[in-house]
A and B are shown apart, each in its own frame.
Chain A
Amino acid sequence: MARYGMVIDTARCVGCMDCVVACKTENGVPDGYCRDWITEEARGRFPTVHLEIRSERCNHCDNPPCVTCCPTGASHVEAGLGRIVLVTHDVCIGCKACLASCPYDARFIHPEGYADKCTFCAHRIQKGEDPACVAVCPTRCMHFGDLDDPHSEVSRLLEARRNHALLPEAGTGPRIFFLT
């Protein structure tokens, strides 16, 4: 069974926000909302300041707190599609427990009332295509694939390069990795 994830090369990302625009266009994300976003993290002491630019989104965690706290089963792990985390809109009651449970603040309430977030472009990956953000990235810094397949591009990159995930200490098992 596949376990989809993403690997993003922070040495290549320039924070152009093409991924954000592509996602909004592809998924009809309403004005004023976004499913993915850019984070800039600066650390160090001048003149040796290190800047990491990251394209962030739902981490489709191995141990998703949004799924365990959902009272209706609207938030669920899609076992047949790389164990990505999805929300069934007409099962969601908009209680917002999932928003409060996500350490990445990756979710929001869609103006129509249901909890919304990145789906890894489920409709595209079902057809064997990359998520829209990966497909449009002009620096080719984003990679999508099966983390459980040792021969996949994402597994090979993780094997070859130093990387980190976000807030692994939160215990959620995030599946987006950033190459450094």
Chain B
Amino acid sequence: MELSEITVHRMNPQIDPGLHVWGWEIPVYLFLGGLVAGMMILGGHLLVRGHGRRPQSVCHRLPALAIALLSLGMLALFLDLEHKRFVWRLYTTFEITSPMSWGAWILLLVYPALVAAFLVARGTLRPDLARRIGQLNMALGALLGIYTGILLSALGARPLWNSALLGPLFLLSGLSSAAALVHLLARDREEQTLFMKADNAFLATELVLLVLFFLGLVSSTRVHLEAARLFFGGPLTALFWVFVVGLGLVVPLVIQPLAVRHRVAHTAVAPLLVIAGGLALRFVIVYAGQMSHWR
């Protein structure tokens, strides 16, 4: 038998026997960041379409909720830092090659944009200003959503994450989770239907992106192929296929089109599954990436 054995005499915490630097905090932050990104895009879209004038519109409630959820996410991110008292160092520099630095500055722009959306959604201001702020929220939401994926894909040492598709994948996942949440919150019939239809489109696109993501991995080098195997017979197979793909994508994609056509009752089941699936996706990708390596 051909022998190929590597013994490493090192036992650094969080590094050995396998990388485990990020626990629950980062997946929760990435999920909430993506969800808020989706809420900014959808809420911004409503502002652009002049829904601020409708007293029942969900766009009145989205910005405050988004600020609360993003703050929770930021708290999770802060809890993950190991050298907390130096967190302010993020804002003494801009490191153009670091997605995390981009993210820190994007987050600093997101808060005032959400506050502006909160103020104009009260409906007393000029419609053209509401439209502008809606557009700003959509643009910043897209940046925020893509950044949550690029953050991981820029870490070249983990083959699973070496795909720029993680950016659009996390953006679409954020959009689908946000559409599901907004659908649950909406009281306006037209908005309810709009977001359920939109959610179906987001979920279908997300499914296509997942297929492309895996195609990229299996058509690349040995280490990328091994990374993909984590989901095809490896330790994350069940978690990924049951919770992310099955319950988070396929089941809602079956239920929601039927609900749109009034073939089944509108319930909270499908939107809740979409939201849970979005959270599961972040956990699975963050954990799997740490399991993948070049050696």
- A97: min CB distance to chain B, Å: 6
B98 within 8 Å of A by Cβ?
yes
Q: Which residues of B contact A172 (CB under 8 A)?
A: 156
- Whether the Cβ atoms of A72 and B294 lie closer than 8 Å is no
List B124-155 residues whose CB lies under 8 Å from chain A.
Answer: 154-155
B97 within 8 Å of A by Cβ?
yes
- For B, the interface residue count at a CB cutoff of 8 angstroms equals 49
- Whether the Cβ atoms of A171 and B156 lie closer than 8 Å is yes
Residues of B whose CB lies within 8 Å of any CB of A are: 1-16, 19, 21-22, 80-84, 86-87, 89-90, 92-93, 95, 97-101, 103-104, 154-158, 221, 289-290, 293-295
- Whether the Cβ atoms of B7 and A39 lie closer than 8 Å is yes
Q: Which residues of B contact A41 (CB under 8 A)?
A: 5-7
Given A39-B9, A42-B3, A91-B89: A69 touches B98 (CB 8 Å cut-off): yes
7 interchain residue pairs of minimum CB distance: A94-B82, A94-B83, A37-B10, A113-B83, A71-B100, A103-B157, A71-B101
- Whether the Cβ atoms of B8 and A39 lie closer than 8 Å is yes
Binary interface profile of A, 38-74, with partner B (CB < 8 Å = 1, else 0)?
1111111110010000000000000001001111111
A102 within 8 Å of B by Cβ?
yes
- Whether the Cβ atoms of A92 and B2 lie closer than 8 Å is no
A148 within 8 Å of B by Cβ?
no
- Whether the Cβ atoms of B92 and A37 lie closer than 8 Å is no
Given A69-B154, A71-B101, A74-B89: A43 touches B4 (CB 8 Å cut-off): yes
The chain B residue with its CB closest to the CB of A171 is: B156
Main secondary structure of the interface of B (DSSP, over half): loop
- Whether the Cβ atoms of B21 and A32 lie closer than 8 Å is no
Q: Which residues of A contact B93 (CB under 8 A)?
A: 72-73
- A119: min CB distance to chain B, Å: 16
Q: CA A96 – CA B80 in complex, angstroms?
A: 9
- Which one of B22, B100, B221, B294 lies within 8 Å of A69 (CB-CB)? B100
- Which one of A20, A65, A112 lies within 8 Å of B155 (CB-CB)? A65
- Which one of A32, A114, A167 lies within 8 Å of B11 (CB-CB)? A32
A105 within 8 Å of B by Cβ?
yes
A11 within 8 Å of B by Cβ?
no
- B161: min CB distance to chain A, Å: 8
Q: CA A172 – CA B294 in complex, angstroms?
A: 12
Interchain residue pairs with CB less than 8 A apart (13):
A33-B13, A34-B10, A34-B12, A39-B6, A42-B5, A72-B90, A92-B83, A93-B81, A93-B84, A96-B14, A96-B80, A109-B21, A167-B295
The chain B residue with its CB closest to the CB of A49 is: B3
A165 within 8 Å of B by Cβ?
no
Q: Which residues of A contact B5 (CB under 8 A)?
A: 41-43
A99 within 8 Å of B by Cβ?
yes
